[in-house]
Amino acid sequence: MAITLNNGFKMPVVGLGVWRMEGKDVRDLIINSIKLGYRHFDCAADYKNEAEVGEALSEAFKTGLVKREDLFITTKLWNSDHGHVLEACKDSLKKLQLEYLDLYLVHFPVAVKHTGVGQTGSPLDKDGVLDIDTTISLETTWHAMEDLVSKGLVRSIGISNYDIFLTRDCLAYSKVKPAVNQIETHPYFQRDCLVKFCQKHGICVTAHTPLGGAAANTEWFGTVSCLDDPVFKALAEKYKKTVAQIVLRWGIQRNTVVIPKTSKFERLKENFEVFDFELAEEDMDKIKAIDRKYRTNQPAKFWGIDLYA
């Protein structure tokens, strides 16, 4: 099952996020997920595992497990490389052992002091606050992203963690429209206005943290997950599915792409088994009613500044 992007390319609606995956885990995860039917992988320079992902993909191609044209590979430009878009993209391609990317995203709408191509630093100033580079505009960064398309290095380009106003601006100054806006959205942080605005203007929404962060964000940010909500426990019982499957199905029925992450094989399998049932409209309404406007991914903890304030 796939969503057709505004440039005609198709993006599978369920992908695997590889954030916080390391070493041999990455290889096993990628190979096992391909065997289960996954064809969409969400990477980023900042995850610091592109080389490991690249090794796994190379193995999958060489052994005939899958063809390159059957996969949809996303990676992201880090904040410290806004002034070095071409070099950063080439660095990611080299690590991933690919000739082109299906999708390249601006990871966050902020440029910071350059720390070396692909180094993905988040330098802080003497006050412990993110050292933001005020000489590079998001428009300049976007035009450099557009050049990647004309060079054939990237098929689609997009944005990530952009609000309505920044998305509107990008639509206004772009020659190549953003195909995707990847944002945090889940039942406790539904962001209906932003989702609908993007969809109205032909931008596909990808939900990162589609399960509300679960254990990973609780550990890093001390946040609460929607997976323990009694509404979901009741729906899981009704549909004879797991809570995670109900949450992911809700995301799919909103016409968003979901990219859950997991390092467990059983969960990998479970997260992909979401195409054999449909939530009734009344149950979609029940989920709509539990929105808390609750963000779980909080980079301010590391950056000394709340970019969402």
pLDDT tens profile 33-74: 999 999 999 999 988 899 999 999 999 999 999 999 999 999
Q: Is 47 a catalytic residue?
A: yes
How many CB atoms within 10 Å of residue 185?
24
Locus of tokens 């500044």: 305
Residue 56: the pLDDT is 95
Phi, psi of 85, deg, nearest 5: -65, -50
Q: Among residues of the chain, what percentage have pLDDT more than 90? A: 77
Which value, in Å, is the radius of gyration of the alpha carbons in the chain?
19
Cβ atoms of 160 and 102 within 8 Å: the answer is no
User: What is the pLDDT of the chain when averaged over all its residues?
Assistant: 92
Question: Which among 116, 123, 177 is positioned nearest to 145, based on CA atoms?
Answer: 177
Residue 209: the pLDDT is 87
pLDDT tens profile 233-280: 999 999 999 999 999 999 999 999 999 988 888 899 999 999 999 999
**The one catalytic residue among 47, 104, 162, 188:** 47
The H or E element containing residue 219 is helix 214-221
Chain length of the chain:
309
Q: What average pLDDT does the segment 206-215 reach? A: 81
Q: What average pLDDT does the segment 279-291 reach? A: 95
Residue 24: the pLDDT is 74
How many CB atoms within 10 Å of residue 151?
12
Residue 223: the pLDDT is 60
d(CA 5, CA 149): 15
Q: What is the pTM of this model?
A: 0.94
Residue 294: the pLDDT is 82
Locus of tokens 């796994």: 56
pLDDT tens profile 63-116: 999 999 999 999 999 999 999 999 999 999 999 999 999 999 999 999 999 999
User: If DSSP codes are grouped into helix, strand and coil, which group holds residue 86?
Assistant: helix
Cβ atoms of 3 and 204 within 8 Å: the answer is yes
pLDDT band at 221; cut points 50, 70, 90? very low
Locus of tokens 């940010």: 221
Alpha helices, H only, 174-213: 192-200
Cβ atoms of 138 and 105 within 8 Å: the answer is no
